[in-house]
Structure 1
Amino acid sequence: MLGLTKRYGNIVAIDRLDARVDGKIIGLLGPNGAGKSTLLKALLGLIPYEGGARVLGLEARTHGADIRDRVGYMPEQEAFLAGMSAVELCTYAGELSGLPRTEAMQRAHAALYYAGLEEKRYQPIDGYSTGMKQRVKLAQALVHDPEILFLDEPTNGLDPRSRDEMLELIAELPARRGCAIVLSTHLLPDVERVCDHAVIMHQGRVRFVGSIDELRGARGRDTEILVEVKADAARLGEVLTEAGATCQVVSAVTLSVSLPETATNELVFRRAREAGLQIRGLGVRRETVEAAFLRVIGDAPKKDAQP
């Protein structure tokens, strides 16, 4: 993406996006209204935009149909035809992608089997539960064997069990189907569970692009050290603070420590020894994706008011 912009009148939904994204499962993360769904539609060539956007080496503005033949799209909103069964819908989706009807039907059965709907595939979708409808949307996105999947809020509205099952299906896709995934969601635990890379959007702009590990370490450290002492964690906090560390007493015997940029764990042992304190254990606590996300969008400058 190079300067990708999408306007609706005076409202700027996507504001000059510049990013190149690689990964097996990429989390497109942001609050509701951040521009995630609009971005996916632009990348599929479904809506006009300004600037540049390339998917699989193709410009979305001029090669949208070619991109859609190679990319599966699971929309956030339901778009089912009344009375249609799951196998009919998936077969139709395959035909729209250019598959002959016989092949489209064969692939529809295979996709529905993968999604766990083989026993319900002939029943009208109207009577499906929310979880089953989400599985149908996933199956129709898979039917033409895409190279990339765009999944827009795939766990939206699901109960905990259905959500776990959907995330398990998504996590297995790169290995079992050989495709990359862009998972658009506002649910941070979903990204933390299945994604290896993340793109964070806020107010129509990209605030972060990189691996999950890089997201957690975007301020130079991806961990806090948890130090357990025999006694007097507060005293250890005092001597480490004098050495430039940031410390928080968790309990009488536990201390959370963020070391200076150039320091190593050796500083903790040395200062404890000098203070006559005994260290019983030392571990690390990684920043969660949720904490990193809030930090990234919290650091982002507020968007200029629109005219």
Structure 2
Amino acid sequence: MSGPIDQTLAPGIEVTKLSYSFPDSSVGLRDIILSLPPSSRTLLIGANGAGKTTLLRLLSGKRLAPSGTISVGGLDPFKDGLEGVTYLGLEWVLNPIVRTDIGVQELLRSVGGDHYPERRDELVEVLDIDLEWRMHAVSDGERRRVQLAMGLIRPWRILLLDEITVDLDLLSRSNFLGFLKQETEKRQCTIVYATHILDNLAEWPTHLVHMSLGKVKEWGSMETFDVQGKREYDSGNSRLGMLVLGWLKDDLQERGPRNSKQAVKVGSEGKSYAAAGTGGYGSEVAKPRTF
């Protein structure tokens, strides 16, 4: 009988024939197969409604997937109490507390800043945060920087990011992504990042996953894709952008206009934050975690 799994190591992600349905029986994901190695940095690419958020929420353990379909570091993220998971998505971004008259130092302290002073100070520097800010009096971009610092102060083993850099300026985003890359190179951790913004990302990911209509169409290491073969543009970033643009054009042709009777009606279409999906199970209650 094997012993307990070591949860100090960087987790790999294995997804095997994963399908998932919403309460109205519409299909969110279908027959997904993925294998992402430990310490990888994966870009999750796809049009709105492709199923990216649904997949991320299942990987984070916020939704129950059919038994045996998801393994993160050898564990089921919903059933087994996977440690060190940080998921930053819509509900985290919309948390009303960060719009009230409260100071940055109070917020950082509330999420463990005093217990991880070195990480706190590094994130404050990387994200160019003023510790004297009051949250009701800052811009959306400044508020997002504070939220990112709050979400990342506690060390994590797996980080799942769902479109959370849209309000950052170019320099802040570049510094932030540089910090994340350094994390996977220095610590035992793995990242999956869903984004539509590809500027300055050519050298960042180790892997790409292309989703459309609730399924994975392509996935693999960066060497798998013909990014270097796109000769029309000089920069690697433009080549990556052209690769993804081609994917999205093909996806649109396959799906058809959203209001067309012939359009393929598969994918999340904004349902990922609604009531729990079935996944074959119905309402879910995660097993209490012990610490």
Q: Same fold (TM over 0.5)?
A: yes
Give the strand-richer structure, 1 or 2: 1
Residue 28 of structure 1 contacts residue 183 of structure 1 at CA under 8 Å; is this kept in 2? yes
Q: Distance in 2 between matches of 1:111 and 1:127?
A: 25
User: What displacement does 1:170 show?
Assistant: 2.6
Residue pair 1:150, 1:181 contacting (<8 A) in 2 also: yes
Distance 2:60 2:195 in 1: 18
Q: 2:241 aligns with which of 282, 290, 302?
A: 290
1:139-167 CA deviation, whole Å, 9 max, x = no partner?
23322211121122232122333333333
* Aligned twin of 2:41: 25
Q: Which runs of 5+ in 2 are unaligned?
A: 1-14, 256-262, 267-291
Cα RMSD (Å) = 3.3
**Residue in structure 2 matched with residue 262 of structure 1 by the alignment:** none
1:79 aligns with 2:95: yes
Deviation (angstroms), 1:199 = 1.0
Q: CA deviation at 1:224?
A: 6.3
Which protein is bigger by CA-based radius of gyration?
1
Q: 1:48 aligns with which of 47, 51, 64?
A: 64
Aligned counterpart in structure 1 of residue 107 of structure 2, from 65, 75, 89? 89
The answer for the alignment partner of 2:120 in structure 1 is: 112
Matched to 1:20, the amino acid is: S
Q: Is the 8 A contact 2:42 2:207 kept in 1?
A: yes
| TM-score, scaled to structure 2 | 0.67
Deviations 1:51-77 (A, max 9, x none): 5212121112312xx22x312222243
State how many pairs are aligned. Answer: 234
Structure 1 residue 105: deviation in Å?
Answer: 2.4
Name stretches of at least 5 consecutive residues in structure 1 with no aligned partner.
Answer: 95-103, 227-282
Q: Secondary structure at the match of 2:35?
A: coil
Q: Is the 8 A contact 1:112 1:121 kept in 2?
A: no
Report the residue type matching 2:196 in the other structure: H
Is the Cα–Cα contact under 8 Å of residues 146 and 179 in structure 1 kept in the other structure?
yes
| Residues 122/286 of structure 1: CA separation in 2 closer, same or farther (3 Å cut) | closer
TM-score (norm 1): 0.64
Q: Any conservation in 1 of the 2:129–2:146 contact (CA below 8 Å)? A: no
CA contact (8 A) 2:210 2:219 kept: yes
Determine the C-alpha separation between the residues in 2 that align with 1:36 and 1:124: 33
1:137: Cα distance to partner? 2.8
2:229 aligned to 218, 223, 231, which one? 223
CA distance in 1, matches of 2:62, 2:238: 37
8 Å CA contact 2:28–2:54 kept in 1: the answer is yes
CA–CA separation in structure 2 for the residues paired with 1:292 and 1:224: 8
Structure 2 distance, partners of 1:44, 1:287, is 31
Indicate the percent of aligned positions where both proteins have the same amino acid: 24
Q: Closer, same or farther in 2 for the Cα pair 1:84/1:56, shift >3 Å?
A: farther
